[in-house]
């Protein structure tokens, strides 16, 4: 998708679809110079379109100088127009664009930035929304099967005042990079497990590094190296699978040089979770190709950080494996000596995510990250809290957790903190080892406590994305299936640390 800014004083209205915003209870704006205004106002009256935020109205025009079609999108009341209203209005507009199957649109920026939304934030939001709504799942439908190729949006022209063009343009290119990152995460999560094995995920990570212009280095530890290292928890999870596990490490060094602060992005990367010997039901297993959504988001995010050339060092770590039942599988009752040296009794082989993450977190710490954020489809029970709309946050350092919550709020991803009461820590205790891998109810909290033991004193936040990373319905900018949840929050967090003085 290409974005172009066009001077609104010399517009050229020839466009198959022209998008204009309209504040509540105001008349749709004239394009061009009043020719269409009367017709739009009449249609608005007939259709009862009053500019409610997110409402849309499509009008045909037959004036020689006018665009063929005008899509009017409601912006809500002028006084309360903010970033949320911007997102809502643009999402509605681009969903309409998608259903109209046009390849190019022109957006009149007037009204879409102002006191509460800067020029560049408008540009960024526009490009994010356009890119995310345009996404179509990487399906395997063929012409032979009667499938017609999707119409993708190729060109988005944005009409702005000459003075604002540069700032809008900057926002557009940032937004484009972010949308690409989210869509990469969606593609990876949507891929069938037969196609996205641990080593295929490593290949995808190498492609992210290759596209970074030399700012991201990729390292992949294969099975023999993991054995030498002592990543016994990751290896135990992989034992029942005929797919080789691996540990993927991506290191982003800013063009301006490494920073003292190194953000560690850790992503759960179970390419298929059958449950292992504690086998899931058919219903429970059906979508478990998505159990690497955390890893996918982490990959997308570090790619976006590189594209934005943010001045903050970032490391991404993915411990990739399948979880399968087999004669070689790890078993309930097994005791594992994790990379960190903590021993774990396997209580349930379906609680594999925390085992793989324990080794990933320890590895990230050894590689010098100064703070960790992990994204994981960790527990089914998080959905009692988050539904399928958002995610749960857990942390060991209140100030850092707050920053992560702020980052999520800034980019519009729903995230809420859950308490980690010390009294629940003992739920993971057992007579046999330092920890067991299933501490019972409340499942999401005891799982977080398990990870926290491995974070130790390193500032750490865990996002349980089992609800929001994959949906069985469309919602807002997200299609059915993988959502790429978390990419935008991670990018926002990296931006926050980019702005912060190095000594902090």
Q: How far is the CB of 421 from ligand BES (least distance, A)?
A: 18
- Comparison of 381 and 396: residue with beta carbon closer to ligand BES: 381
273 binds Zn ion (CB under 5 A): yes
What, of Zn ion, ligand BES, none, does residue 359 touch, CB below 5 to 8 Å by kind? Answer: none
Q: How far is CA 280 from CA 126, 182, 272, 287, in A?
A: 41, 29, 12, 11
Q: Which is nearer to ligand BES, 61 or 356 (CB)?
A: 356
Residue 325 Cβ vs Zn ion, minimum distance, rounded to whole Å: 12
Measured distance CA(414)–CA(384) in Å, rounded: 15
Question: Per CB under 5 A, which of residues 454..493 are in contact with Zn ion?
Answer: none
Residues catalogued as catalytic: 280, 354
Instruction: Enumerate residues 6+ apart whose C-beta is below 8 A from 50.
Output: 24, 25, 44, 74
Q: Which does 297 bind (CB under 5 to 8 A by kind): ligand BES, Zn ion, none?
A: none
Q: How far apart are the first and last CA of the chain?
A: 38
Residue 208 CA to residue 222 CA, distance in Å, equals 19
Q: Which does 379 bind (CB under 5 to 8 A by kind): ligand BES, Zn ion, none?
A: ligand BES
Q: Which is nearer to ligand BES, 229 or 414 (CB)?
A: 414
Asked whether position 119 contacts Zn ion by CB under 5 A, the answer is no
| Torsions phi, psi for 397 (to 5 deg) | -140, 100
CB nearer to Zn ion: give 183 or 338: 338
In angstroms, give the least distance from the CB of 348 to Zn ion.
Answer: 8
Closer residue to ligand BES (CB): 87 or 354: 354
Which residues bind to ligand BES, rule: CB under 6 A? 273, 291, 348, 350-353, 377, 379-381, 438, 443, 466
- The residue (of 61 and 428) whose beta carbon lies closer to ligand BES is 428
Q: Which of 124, 134, 291, 492 binds Zn ion (CB under 5 A)?
A: 291
Q: What are residue 372's phi and psi, to 5 degrees?
A: -120, 140
Helix (H, G, I), strand (E, B) or coil at 374: strand
In the complex, minimum distance from the CB of residue 117 to Zn ion, in angstroms, rounded to a whole number: 39
Residues 6+ apart with CB under 8 A from 274: 280, 285, 288, 322, 323, 324, 325
Q: By CB under 5 A, name the one of 21, 74, 264, 353 that touches Zn ion.
A: 353
Q: How many CB atoms lie within 10 A of CB 340?
A: 21
Q: Interior CA angle at 454 toward 453 and 458, to 5°? A: 100
Q: What is the DSSP track for 29-66? A: PPTTTTTTHHHHHHHHHHHT----TT-EEEEE---TTS
Q: Whole-number minimum distance, CB 196 to Zn ion, in Å?
A: 15
**Residue 367 gets which letter from DSSP?**
T
Question: Which partner from the list Zn ion, ligand BES, none does 348 bind, CB cut-off 5 to 8 Å by kind?
Answer: ligand BES
Is 350 a binder of Zn ion (CB under 5 A)?
yes
**Closest separation in Å from C-beta 182 to ligand BES:** 19
Residues 6+ positions from 85 with CB-CB distance below 8 Å: 53, 75, 76
Token pair in block for residue 271: 């390419």
218-to-225, 299, 326, 492 alpha-carbon distances in Å: 15, 11, 31, 23
Q: Which is nearer to ligand BES, 380 or 476 (CB)?
A: 380
Output phi, psi for 454, to 5 deg: -90, -25
Q: Which does 172 bind (CB under 5 to 8 A by kind): Zn ion, ligand BES, none?
A: none
Residue 380, contacted partner among ligand BES, Zn ion, none, CB below 5-8 A by kind? ligand BES
Least distance from ligand BES to the Cβ atom of residue 463, Å: 13
List the one residue out of 435, 417, 413 whose CA is nearest residue 426.
435
Q: Which does 126 bind (CB under 5 to 8 A by kind): Zn ion, ligand BES, none?
A: none
Q: State the residues that interact with Zn ion by CB under 5 A.
A: 270, 273, 291, 350, 352-353
């Amino acid at each position: 998708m290409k974005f172009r800014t066009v001077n609104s004083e010399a517009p050229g209205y020839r466009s198959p679809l022209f998008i204009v915003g309209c504040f509540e209870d105001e008349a749709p704006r004239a394009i061009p110079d009043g020719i269409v205004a009367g017709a739009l106002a009449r249609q608005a009256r007939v259709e009862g379109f009053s500019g409610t935020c997110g409402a849309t109205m499509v009008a045909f025009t037959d004036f020689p100088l006018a665009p063929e079609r005008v899509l009017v999108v409601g912006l809500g009341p002028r006084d309360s127009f903010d970033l949320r209203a911007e997102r809502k209005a643009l999402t509605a507009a681009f969903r309409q664009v998608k259903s109209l199957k046009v390849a190019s649109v022109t957006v009149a920026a007037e009204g879409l930035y102002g006191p509460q939304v800067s020029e560049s934030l408008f540009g960024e939001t526009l490009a994010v929304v356009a890119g995310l709504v345009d996404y179509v799942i990487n399906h395997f439908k063929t012409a032979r099967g009667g499938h017609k190729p999707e119409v993708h949006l190729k060109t988005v022209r944005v009409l702005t005042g000459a003075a604002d063009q540069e700032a809008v343009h900057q926002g557009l290119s940032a937004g484009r990079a972010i949308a690409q990152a989210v869509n990469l995460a969606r593609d990876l999560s949507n891929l069938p497990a037969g196609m996205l094995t641990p080593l295929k995920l490593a290949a995808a990570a190498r492609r992210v590094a290759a596209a970074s212009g030399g700012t991201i280095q990729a390292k992949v530890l294969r099975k023999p190296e993991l054995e030498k290292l002592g990543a016994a928890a990751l290896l135990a999870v992989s034992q029942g699978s005929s797919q080789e596990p691996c540990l993927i490490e991506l290191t982003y060094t800013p063009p301006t040089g490494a920073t003292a602060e190194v953000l560690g992005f850790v992503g759960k990367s179970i390419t298929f979770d059958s449950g292992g010997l504690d086998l899931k039901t058919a219903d429970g297993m059906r979508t478990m190709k998505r159990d690497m959504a955390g890893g996918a988001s982490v990959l997308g995010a570090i790619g976006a950080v590189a594209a934005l050339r943010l001045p903050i060092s970032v490391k991404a770590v993915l411990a990739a494996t399948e979880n399968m039942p087999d004669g070689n599988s790890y078993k309930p009752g097994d005791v594992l000596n994790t990379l960190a040296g903590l021993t774990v009794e396997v209580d349930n082989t379906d609680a594999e995510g925390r085992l793989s993450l324990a080794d990933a977190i320890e590895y990230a710490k050894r590689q010098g990250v100064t703070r960790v954020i992990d994204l994981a489809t960790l527990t089914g029970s998080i959905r009692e809290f988050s539904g399928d709309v958002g995610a749960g946050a857990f942390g060991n350092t209140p100030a850092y957790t707050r920053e992560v919550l702020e980052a999520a709020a800034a980019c519009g991803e729903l995230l809420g903190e859950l308490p980690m009461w010390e009294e629940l820590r003992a739920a993971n205790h057992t007579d046999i080892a330092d920890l067991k891998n299933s501490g019972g109810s409340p499942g999401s909290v005891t799982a977080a406590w398990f990870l926290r033991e491995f974070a130790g004193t390193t500032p750490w936040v865990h996002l349980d994305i089992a609800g929001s990373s994959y949906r069985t319905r469309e919602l807002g900018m997200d299609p059915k299936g993988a959502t790429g949840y978390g990419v935008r929050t991670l990018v926002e967090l990296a931006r926050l640390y980019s702005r912060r003085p190095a000594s902090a």
